[in-house]
A and B are shown apart, each in its own frame.
Chain A
């Protein structure tokens, strides 16, 4: 909140330089902040959820697997198949839940979700290995969540690769002739969390900032105080600024909280500069607040404000690259994403946070946000007075 004395003295200075407009805007901002924070529950509901969500999603929202239950149907029962299983068990990803005796048991384990994978060795697994024929490991996966199954199968593939290399060098043959060395830039261990948490800086702040703005105007309309505001000497642009700045203040605070959790709790190294990140965030919040104000100019009640902003926020979140890559979307939808402020915010957060991008490098993300803000904010303030109803 604005410190009382500082505000008073700055008011006196302002009165000499740019008398009325600024004084009025400051008064409005002060009133808005008081309205926002006077209720303890809404105070809590503004700052606690981002932190909780960030913590929860940091742990939950991961495509990385570490506890895959699997069952074995080993018809070979040889040293080779046991060595393979030992590698699987030692990988830290797989947990063996059962040793099966008959193929008929497979259905039961998969259907009831007791195992995600069934690893099956034929009778001649070891014999074929010794004979130099390609030996086969059969893997059946539960495809009800095909993404999880695909990741698990890729882990099995990596274990098989390692086993194959060991087998060749352990049995007098030369090692595998071609090795593939893998390196991942910006996220050496390829942790989903490193991708997810910086994305949340934009996502969580937008969810609340946009809704908060839309609802604060809608609440005044519902209670009739907005009409009172319109008959005061405030100009619509001043009302707009008075509504926008407190929401942005909340948004910046939430973003800072998420950033703190990312660095202090999850210890994701920050590569870029805070000035660049905050410059991007301010532009993003201007666009988000502009959209919120625009929504509020179309609605009559808080319920409408809430639900319409939700109808907007859903596609914004889904088409932002948060959960699935934008490059996988069909071209038509990719065009839609160009009008989505969150797409740019997530890109800014990733590039500055993980890759250390400079202001010039994120410029392609900045100007679309600036255009969105420049379009939505004036239209919203014009709509304050020119609404139809």
Chain B
């Protein structure tokens, strides 16, 4: 009954068939609590976690100040640490006590003022020893910087009072463009948009399509008059809409809850997000058509989309500092281009020289993957 002559019917029938498939898929989405969990609960949870939970700004670091010298100079330096907003300093009398505290992780660092501190200072050069707990290397380095700053400030204050310390000859004055307050939320919250879109796009699509293959319901669809491209559209449009809902939830959360500025235009943001969504949907479709197994498809989707979006996209870690081989891999990953777009659109504005090349790469990837998934599905029809 479904000969090729019959299939080449009016475009109206084509639309009707696609709509029917969308309806069937939408029922499946709405009736399965796990789709709602990943489409609505997950974005909300991530917005809250990224906004409140993840924080790279180090403040109130607990440190032990070892006072082996009790001269006024030493006490003054220790007070510098106690007054600093970056430290939560408490005084201990000996190094072994401080070391015990460091081993127990009660403090993250030790500032040691040796017994001959004020004598050496009078002689022209004194030394302060700083020990940090190196397990968390990033925090440790920031603590080192703060400690250096606290000592330098104390020296500058003494120098200004005309006492026996020369002020450092130069000062670095720094300004952070696009993020004056140095708030890590400003780059973490836009970054989570990429995670949400990747999860909904790639992981969910890979699972639902692989399930149809696994259960044999795809073959059942093939014997109906529905054509391959119609199946693909009917499958992707509901998840595409879910991805857009996730996007809106993230943008609203970022703006309303965390006041992250959106300096670019919202139209461009939505436009490039649609491109990225098409790319990850395409990856999900291709993976599921190739593997036809829910377990393998979901593992691969995690491996090639989600984890790279987290680690290799430039959202947390600087791409330029990665070894060349790893950097080459990042050029193949769509997340890299999307993160560049998101960071620019949220924090810098509509800078077309950044937007156009990145969006062009995403568009090319989307086109290529859609073609590929069409081929992968059609082959199975024969």
Contacts and interface: CB of A to CB of B under 8 A. Distances in A.
A207 B311 CA distance: 15
Nearest to B316: A323
Give chain B's interface residue range (CB within 8 Å of chain A): 35 or more
A179 B127 contact: yes
Interface in A210-264: 211, 215, 219
Contact of A157 (B124, B172, B354): B172
A302 B211 contact: yes
Given A137-B172, A140-B175, A325 B167 contact: no
A156 B317 CA distance: 19
Given A177-B166, A184-B140, A45 B130 contact: no
A117 to B, nearest CB: 9
Among A191, A304, A327: residue with most chain B CB under 10 A: A327
B165 A315 contact: no
Contact of A190 (B55, B127, B140, B318): B140
Contacts, number: 338
Given A68-B320, A181-B127, A311 B37 contact: yes
B207 A307 contact: yes
A252 to B, nearest CB: 19
B174 to A, nearest CB: 4
Interface string B14-44: 0000000000000000001111011001100
Interface in A155-181: 156-158, 160-161, 163-164, 167-168, 173-181
Contacts of A174: 124-125, 166
A99 interface: no
Contact of A318 (B32, B49, B317): B49
Count class of interface residues, chain A: 35 or more
A273 interface: no
Interface in B122-150: 124-142, 144-145, 147-149
Given A139-B175, A178-B121, A185 B102 contact: yes
Nearest to A48: B303
Contact of B168 (A59, A134, A146, A192): A134
Contacts of A42: 293, 295-296
A314 B46 contact: yes
A158 B32 CA distance: 56
Given A112-B354, A185-B132, A67 B124 contact: no
B176 interface: yes
A183 interface: yes
Given A182-B132, A315-B49, A164 B166 contact: no
A329 B34 contact: no
B223 interface: no
A39 B321 CA distance: 39
A129 B169 contact: yes
B300 to A, nearest CB: 7
A179 B125 CA distance: 8
B124 A146 contact: no
B168 A111 contact: no
Given A180-B130, A307-B203, A333-B52, 11 more contacts: A65-B321, A111-B351, A135-B170, A180-B129, A215-B295, A302-B207, A311-B37, A311-B41, A328-B55, A329-B55, A350-B135
Query: Which 3 A-B pairs rank lowest in CB-CB distance, beginning with the nearest?
Result: A187-B134, A143-B179, A184-B134
